[in-house]
A and B are shown apart, each in its own frame.
Chain A
Amino acid sequence: MSEMLSVDPYVFLAIIGMAFVTILTRVSGFVLARSFAIEGRTKAALEAVPGSVLIAIIVPTVFATGPAETIASLITLILASRLPFIFAVFGGVGSVVVLRILLAG
Chain B
Amino acid sequence: MTGSKLSQYGSSGNQFYLGAATSLPITLSIFAVGMVVGVLAAEKGLTFTETFLFSALVFAGSAQFIALEMWGTPLAISVIVFTTLIVNLRHILMSAAITPAIYHWPKQYSFIALLFLADEIWAVALTRAQRTELRPSFYFGIALPFYLTWITSTLTGHAIGRSIGDPAQFGADFAFTAVFLALLVGLWNGRSSVLPWITAALTALAVDTTWHGPWPILVGALSGAIVGASQYGFLKAKYAAVSEDIASDQESS
Contact = CB atoms under 8 A, between A and B. Distances in A.
Interface in A54-87: 54-64, 69, 72-73, 76-77, 79-81, 84-86
B144 interface: no
Contact of B95 (A28, A54, A86): A28
B216 interface: yes
A80 B95 contact: no
Contact of A53 (B182, B193, B220, B232): B220
Interface string A10-34: 1111111111111111111110111
Contact of B47 (A4, A38, A73, A89): A4
Contacts of A96: 171, 174, 178
Contacts of A64: 205, 208-209
By secondary structure, the B interface counts as: helix
A59 B58 contact: no
A43 to B, nearest CB: 8
Contact of A55 (B48, B67, B99, B184): B184
A22 B60 contact: yes
A73 B177 contact: yes
Contact of B204 (A32, A56, A76): A56
Interface stretch (B8-16, B133-141, B194-202): B194-202
B152 interface: no
B103 A93 contact: no
A81 B102 CA distance: 28
Interface string A30-56: 101110001011101111111111111
Contacts of B95: 25-30, 33
A54 B93 CA distance: 13
A87 to B, nearest CB: 8
Nearest to A24: B85
B197 A52 contact: yes
Interface in B58-84: 58-60, 62-64, 66-67, 74-75, 77, 80-81, 84
Interface centre among A15, A19, A58 (most CB of B within 10 A): A15
A52 B202 CA distance: 11
B180 interface: yes
Contact of A57 (B49, B178, B180, B224): B180
12 contacts: A10-B74, A15-B53, A33-B96, A41-B232, A51-B197, A52-B200, A59-B200, A59-B208, A64-B209, A77-B181, A80-B184, A92-B182
Interface of B: 25-26, 28-29, 32, 46-50, 53-54, 57-60, 62-64, 66-67, 74-75, 77, 80-81, 84-85, 87-100, 102-103, 110-111, 114-115, 117, 119, 168-172, 174-189, 192-193, 196-197, 199-201, 203-205, 208-209, 216-217, 219-221, 223-229, 231-233
Given A17-B84, A29-B91, A85-B182, 19 more contacts: A10-B75, A14-B77, A25-B91, A44-B228, A48-B228, A49-B90, A51-B189, A51-B224, A53-B224, A55-B201, A56-B217, A57-B66, A58-B181, A64-B208, A73-B181, A80-B184, A88-B178, A92-B177, A100-B171
